[in-house]
Amino acid sequence: MGVELIGESLRGALRVTTSTPQQRDHFRARVSLANTGVAQEYATNIQVADLNALNALAVVRWKKLFGFYLDFEGEHNSTYSIDTNSLISDDES
């Protein structure tokens, strides 16, 4: 989740990136594993309850992987953009 204050409003995005044995190449292009002081970022990052609830998309993805939900696309990356209210799924398997 990334959120920033622009004027008096928030903008940002939520992302779920999945790595599986069948598909891993996309992961490093989307997620940095470098130590970038994440603890400090979380100390100052804006947390919003409704966006935290939307992050349940990660739980839905996990349940798709294990067959609880039907998964037609097999997306390995989904991004929700707050300002455009769009959910984009890509990196299909």
**Three-class secondary structure of residue 60 per DSSP:** helix
CB distance 2 to 13 below 8 Å: yes
The answer to whether the predicted template modeling score (pTM) of the entire model surpasses 0.95 is no
Distance (Å, rounded) from C-alpha 57 to C-alpha 63?
10
Q: What local confidence, expressed as pLDDT, does residue 41 receive? A: 45
What kind and span of H or E run contains 90? strand 86-90
Q: What local confidence, expressed as pLDDT, does residue 10 receive? A: 83
Q: What is the CA radius of gyration of the chain?
A: 15
Q: What is the pLDDT along the chain (93 residues), one digit of tens a residue?
A: 778 888 888 888 888 888 777 777 776 676 666 665 545 444 556 667 888 888 888 899 999 999 999 988 888 888 899 899 998 888 776
Q: Enumerate the domain spans of the chain.
A: 2-90
CB distance 14 to 80 below 8 Å: yes
**Three-class secondary structure of residue 92 per DSSP:** coil
Q: Which residues of 1-93 form beta strands (DSSP E)?
A: 2-6, 9-17, 77-81, 86-90
